[in-house]
Amino acid sequence: MDAKIQDLITQKVHSEQGWKTDEVRVDADDDLRHGSCSFFTARHKVRPISYVLNYAVLSEDNIVSLSDDHAVSRILDTCGSDAPPVWWAEIITRFHQDLGSGVVLENATQNSAAVARITAAKREFVPPKFGSEKGSKTITFYMLEPEAFTVYLVNATKNADGSVTVDKAAVH
């Protein structure tokens, strides 16, 4: 990982979270790399925290996180035009302020207990998929909130004005 990028992310974590810079661990998330965008997670080296912070590097000095109100729009506009639905679902889950955490259920074998909840609710599991609404782009996917073990059906829309709206409903 580029030392300059690591330092920029560490400084951003310090300013957003108040963590000491020498207590920040930054790791590349190569599975999300797409187009010109790179993705990273940050963890606290000392305190055991059950979550990671997500950061996207859109250009050399343009880094966004969940604290950016328009993070999802900026990421999708910069590097998501040809990305598959699973990638969009991951970006929305990690960077939209109405979600901010969770595990995107990509296939029926990923978490059998979560899929059993979907089936018990008389629904059928489907992987993330794009819809088509005139003047916007939509995506529907299931997301697991692992700490509460709640499964949500998420519908997100990238509106004509560039904003991204999210509607999530617990699956019962």
Q: What is the pLDDT of residue 101?
A: 82
Answer whether residue 1 shows pLDDT above 80: no
Q: What is the pLDDT of residue 133?
A: 73
Q: What is the pLDDT of residue 132?
A: 75
Q: What is the pLDDT of residue 76?
A: 97
Q: Is the dihedral of CA 98, 100, 106, 110 positive or negative?
A: negative
Distance CA 132, CA 130 (A): 7
Distance CA 3, CA 73 (A): 27
User: Exposed (0-12), middle (13-18) or buried (19+): which is 102, by Cβ within 10 Å?
Assistant: buried
Q: What is the pLDDT of residue 163?
A: 94
Q: Which residue carries 């979550």 as its tokens?
A: 51
Q: Is the dihedral of CA 103, 90, 109, 107 positive or negative?
A: positive
Q: What is the pLDDT of residue 50?
A: 85
**SS percent in the chain: helix, strand, coil, step 5:** 25, 35, 40
The CATH number that domain 1-65 falls under is: 3.30.200
Q: Which residue carries 């992310």 as its tokens?
A: 9
pLDDT digits (tens, 9 = 90+) for 32-48: 999 999 999 999 999 98
Q: Are 162 and 76 in contact (CB under 8 A)?
A: no
Task: Kindly report each contact of residues 33-36 with a partner whose C-beta sits within 8 Å and lies 24 or more positions away, as own/partner.
Answer: 34/79, 34/80, 34/83, 34/87, 35/78, 35/79, 35/80, 35/82, 35/83, 36/78, 36/79
Q: Are 39 and 56 in contact (CB under 8 A)?
A: yes
Return the domain boundaries, the chain. 1-65, 84-172
pLDDT digits (tens, 9 = 90+) for 114-153: 999 999 999 999 999 999 777 789 999 999 999 999 999 9
Q: What is the pLDDT of residue 134?
A: 74
pLDDT digits (tens, 9 = 90+) for 48-89: 888 899 999 999 889 999 999 999 999 999 999 899 999 999
pTM of the model: 0.95
The pair of structure tokens assigned to 8 is 């920029």
pLDDT digits (tens, 9 = 90+) for 100-120: 789 999 999 999 999 999 999
